[in-house]
């Protein structure tokens, strides 16, 4: 025969187990478990790389020389006096995604308009890649070298032989905002 105190213990234990399972399920909803965010982002990254390699063949050489690439398929930038930007992408090492990142920035000053663009950061040294991965929020600074297209759509010759630790390729700009600098952008690890 089960006593009332035993029933009370069993029901408390059952409640705790049910509450714990509910909390774990709710937490999983916010951390990317059970959604297709990573698969969608990886598909966007693949499409961005295919476009970049076909439109700018010099980037194939950069990717082969790099120790890792951060691919940001779409970054949206807008401003009217005060502005900002946001985008999500993936860090690839040896053609495999190892982490996901967001890029954000905020600006103040004369600016009007909106723009979308894609960009890829090529980490040319292990040290640059390790510093990026270890930081809790890596900020793009003046030490990034930008790859510039010549009239034929190829990258300037100096870019592929550069000793810069990080080379940025910005492409696919659409919109009405001047400038495509990444300076001031902060990259943070995310769960898509």
Report the alpha-carbon distance of residue 62 to residue 17 in Å, rounded: 53
- For 21, the 3-state DSSP assignment is helix
**What are the structure tokens assigned to 152, written together?**
């034929």
Query: What does the pLDDT read at residue 28?
Result: 44
Return the pLDDT at 19.
Answer: 40
**Structure confidence at residue 15 (pLDDT):** 40
**pLDDT, averaged across the chain:** 78
Output the pLDDT for position 21: 43
User: What's the pLDDT score for residue 128?
Assistant: 94
Q: How far apart are CA 77 and CA 66, in angstroms?
A: 27
What stretches in the chain show pLDDT beneath 70?
1-34, 110-111, 142-143, 148-162, 175-181
Per-residue confidence (pLDDT) for residue 182, from 0 to 100 = 76
In whole angstroms, what is the distance from residue 76 CA to residue 74 CA?
A: 6
CB-side exposure of 157: number of CA atoms within 13 Å?
A: 0
């Amino acid at each position: 025969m089960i006593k009332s105190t035993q029933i009370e213990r069993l029901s408390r234990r059952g409640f705790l187990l049910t509450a714990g399972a509910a909390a774990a399920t709710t937490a999983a909803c916010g951390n990317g478990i059970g959604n297709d965010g990573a698969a969608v982002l990886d598909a966007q990254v693949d499409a961005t790389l295919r476009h970049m390699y076909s439109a700018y063949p010099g980037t194939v050489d950069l990717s082969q020389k790099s120790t890792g690439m951060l691919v940001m398929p779409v970054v949206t930038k807008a401003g009217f006096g005060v502005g900002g930007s946001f985008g999500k992408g993936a860090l690839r090492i040896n053609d495999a995604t190892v982490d996901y990142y967001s890029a954000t920035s905020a600006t103040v000053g004369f600016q009007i308009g909106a723009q979308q663009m894609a960009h890829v950061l090529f980490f040319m040294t292990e040290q640059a890649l390790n510093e990026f991965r270890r930081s809790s929020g890596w900020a793009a600074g003046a030490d990034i070298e930008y790859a510039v297209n010549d009239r034929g759509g190829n990258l300037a010759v100096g870019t592929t032989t550069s000793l810069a630790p990080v080379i940025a390729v910005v492409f696919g700009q659409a919109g009405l905002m001047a400038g495509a600098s990444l300076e001031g952008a902060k990259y943070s690890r995310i769960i898509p």
